[in-house]
Amino acid sequence: MTAFSHILNVADARRAASRRLPHGLFEYVDRGSEDEVSIATNRSELDAIRLSPAVLVDVSRRSTEAEILGQRQPLPLVIAPTAVAGLVWHDGEIAIAKAAAAAGIPFCVSTQSITAIERIAAESGARLWFQLYVWKNRQRMLALLDRAWAAGAETLVLTVDTAVGPNREYNLRNGFGIPLKASWRAGLDVALHPRWTASVMLRALATGGVPTYAHYPDGFRTKLGRAALSDELSLAADVTWEDVKLLRRHWRGKLVLKGVLRVEDAQAALSHGVDAIVVSNHGARNLDCAPGPTQVLPAIADAIAGRLEILADSGVRRGADIARFLALGANGVLIGRAPLYGVAIGGAEGAGRILDILANELRITMGMLGAPALRDLRLAPSGA
Ligand SMILES: Cc1cc2nc3c(=O)[nH]c(=O)nc-3n(C[C@H](O)[C@H](O)[C@H](O)COP(=O)(O)O)c2cc1C
C-alpha cells in the first residue's frame, strides 16, 4: 500500500484537492472562463473520439516510449506550464518537477512560477522547458530568457493564446489574485483550510515572505515597485510574428508556440522556423468560445504533414485521452491540472501518483486497442 493507494484516478485527486486547498485557489486551478462552455466542449469532444481496436495482436510487450523534440522519453507527456503550482504545495514546482524527472518527462516552468527556474533546476534534476509570456518591456523579457537558458532550459514555449487577460469572474468574487492580497474573504478561506495554511502559507512566510512571481525583478515584490514596474511587466497585447522572429534569433534551443488553433497559424509557425506547436485552448481557461483542440488537430496535422512537431493539450484526465490526442496526430501531450491536483494532495509523491495512474491507464488502453506502440493507435472510422 502506498500513501496514495486510495487515489485511483485523476477525479479522485481533484476531489481531494478541492477539500485541501482554499476555495479561491482551488477555483483558480480548476475552473475555466466566463460561462465555462469551453470546459464542457473539451470534455465532450474528447469523449466523442472513438479509437479502433485491432484484435489478435500480441500486446504482452507494450511501449509508451515517444520522441519529443529529438529526445526519447518513456511517456509521451510533458508537464504543462502552470502559474502558481508553488501555492498549491510548498515549493510545488520543485515537487512536480521531481515527479517529472522520476517519470523521465520534461517539466515546463512558467514565467509566472512561484519558484525560480534556478532552484527548480538545482533541486529537481528534471529536463526543463521555459514558458514565456511576452512582457511589454522586451529588454527585460530577453534578460529573463538569458536567465532561463543559463539555468539549463532546453526549450522555449511562447504562449500565443493570451493576448489579453482572460475574464474569470470567480477570481474576482473570491478576491484571488497574484500577488496575494489580504481580504476578509481570503482570510476566512485560509482559516478554513488549516492544513494548507500551515504547510504552504506559513512555511512560505517563514522562509521567503508572501509568495509571488519569482521571475519578476526584485522591485516587483514591494508595493511601490509593483506600481512602478507593473506597466513594463504586464503582458503585452501587441505580440506578433515579429516577436517570433526576435525569439527565433535570440533563443538557441528549440522554440515552441503554445495555443495554436488555426491551420494558417500552424503554417506560419513552420515558415518562421518554429520547432513545434501546441494545439491547445489553454485548458479552456481563456476564450470560452474556442474550439476544443481535438476539433482542429486533424486538419492541422494534415496540413503540416510531419514538417513540424505537433503537441496538444487541454482536458486530459485519463490515459485514453492521451491516446486520443496521439491518434489524432499529436506527437506528445501536455498535462496541466492533473499533476496540480496530485501535487496539492501530496507534493512530489502525489504528482508522481498521477503520472503513474495516467501511464497505467495508457498502457491498459493500448492493450485493449491491440497497439503495442503509440504509432499503432488508430481512430475508429467516423460513425463507428
Ligand atoms: C492553474 C493553471 C495555471 C496555468 N498557467 C499557465 C501559464 O502560466 N502559462 C501557460 O502557457 N499556460 C498556463 N496554463 C495552461 C496550461 O499550460 C495547459 O495549457 C492547460 O492546463 C491544459 O489543460 P488541462 O489543465 O486540462 O491539462 C495554466 C493552467 C492552469 C490549470
pLDDT at 186: 79
C-alpha cell at 291: 474550439
Which residues have CB under 6 Å of ligand 1?
Answer: 28-29, 80-84, 110, 112, 131, 159, 258, 280, 282-283, 285, 313-316, 334-338
Q: Which residues contact 220 (CB under 8 A, 6 or more apart)?
A: 212, 213, 226, 229, 233
Burial class from Cβ neighbours inside 10 Å (0-12, 13-18, 19+) for residue 350 reads: buried
pLDDT at 48: 97
**Cα 250 to ligand 1 centroid, rounded to whole Å:** 25
C-alpha cell at 32: 475555466
Sites in the chain below the pLDDT cut of 70: 1-2, 179, 222-225, 228, 383-384
**For this structure, is 282 an active site residue?**
yes
Neighbours of 244 (CB within 10 A): 19
User: How does strand 71-73 pair with strand 66-68?
Assistant: antiparallel
pLDDT at 384: 61
C-alpha cell at 218: 526584485
pLDDT at 223: 67
Q: Output the residue whose Cα is nearest ligand 1's atom 30.
A: 82
Which overall architecture, per CATH, does domain 10-50+71-371 show?
Alpha-Beta Barrel (3.20)
Domain residue spans of the chain: 10-50+71-371
**Cα 173 to ligand 1 centroid, rounded to whole Å:** 21
pLDDT at 206: 84
Does 168 show up as a binding residue in the annotation?
yes
3-state class of 235 per DSSP?
strand
**Cα 235 to ligand 1 centroid, rounded to whole Å:** 16
pLDDT at 84: 86
pLDDT at 224: 64
Q: Which atom of ligand 1 is nearest to the CA of 280?
A: 19
Taking only the tens place, the pLDDT of each residue in 317-353 is 999 999 999 999 999 999 999 999 999 999 999 999 9
Q: Output the residue whose Cα is nearest ligand 1's atom 6.
A: 82
pLDDT at 230: 73
